[in-house]
Amino acid sequence: MQAESGPGGLAGWGLSVMDVLGAPGAGLLIAAENLFPPLPSEVFLPLAGFAAGQGRISLVSALVFTTLGSVLGALALYWLGVKLGTERLQALAKRLPLFRESDVDKANAFFDRHGGKAVLLGRMLPVFRSLISIPAGVNRMPVWKFAGLTLLGSAVWNSLFVLAGYLLGDNWHRIEPYSAVFEYTVLGIAVAAVAWFTVKRLRHRG
C-alpha cells in the first residue's frame, strides 16, 4: 500500500466510514464485526489508530468507541442467547446428528464453572469473541457481569490494535499478517477439536 494514495478496498471503505461518522463510525464497524465475524476487527482496529494518528479522530475517542462497539455487538448476541434458551438448544440437539441433549447440559455445566473466564478470554480470540456471547445469554449470566467482563476484555484487545495502528502510522497494515497467523492458529485448534469430537462420537455409536 502506498501512503500517498491511502488504503483501498475494505480498509478504504472503513476509513471513509470514519471520515463521515467520526469515532462513532469506528465503533459501528466493530459492533458489526461482532455480529458478522467475517468482518475483520484486525483491520478496523489498527485502521482506527491510523485515523487517529492522522488527526481524523482523536486517539481517546478511537479507544472509547471501538470498545463501546464491542460491548454493544456482544450484548445483541447475548440477548439472542437469552431468547434461544436451554430448551430450544436441547430440541435442536435432538435433530442434529452426533449431538445429544446431554451435550447441552454439559456445556451449561461448563459455563457455570468457567463462564467468567470464558467471556473475558474469549474477547481476545477471533470468531469466539462473538460466539461466546450466545452461551452467556443462554445460561443467563447476569447482564452486568457479562457487560463488565466484555468491556474489560475488549478494552485490552482493542487498545493493543488501536495503539499499534496509531504508532505505526502509514504502516498500520503490517499488523494484519501477524494477526492472520494468530487467527488461523485459533481456528485450526477449533477445527481439530471438532474433528476429535466427531471421531469420538462416531466410535461410541459404532
Residue 1 lies in a domain: no
Q: Are 24 and 32 in contact (CB under 8 A)?
A: no
Residue numbers of the domain that contains 52: 9-200
Residue 95 lies in a domain: yes
Residue 67 lies in a domain: yes
CA gap 28, 109 in Å, rounded: 34
Look-up: residue for cell 478494552? 155
Residue 189 lies in a domain: yes
Residue 146 confidence (pLDDT) = 93
CA gap 70, 158 in Å, rounded: 9
Residue 206 lies in a domain: no
Residue 174 confidence (pLDDT) = 63
Residue 116 confidence (pLDDT) = 86
User: What b/e string do you get for 84-94 counting C-beta neighbours within 10 Å, with b at 16 or more?
Assistant: eebeebbeebe
CA gap 190, 177 in Å, rounded: 20
Residue 189 confidence (pLDDT) = 55
Ranges of residues in the chain whose predicted pLDDT is under 70: 1-8, 37-38, 89-108, 127, 171-206
Q: What is the DSSP string of 117-183?
A: HHHHHHTTSTTHHHHTHHHHHHTT--HHHHHHHHHHHHHHHHHHHHHHHHHHGGGGGGHHHHHHHHH
Residue 63 lies in a domain: yes
Helix, strand, coil percentages in the chain from 3-state DSSP, rounded to 5: 85, 0, 15
pTM, two decimals, is 0.74
- The chain-wide mean pLDDT, for the chain, equals 77
Residue 2 lies in a domain: no
Residue 182 confidence (pLDDT) = 47
Residue 58 confidence (pLDDT) = 94
Instruction: List CB contacts of 55: < 8 A, sequence separation 6 or more.
Output: none
Residue 4 confidence (pLDDT) = 43
Q: Are 119 and 153 in contact (CB under 8 A)?
A: yes
Residue 3 lies in a domain: no
Domain count, the chain: 1
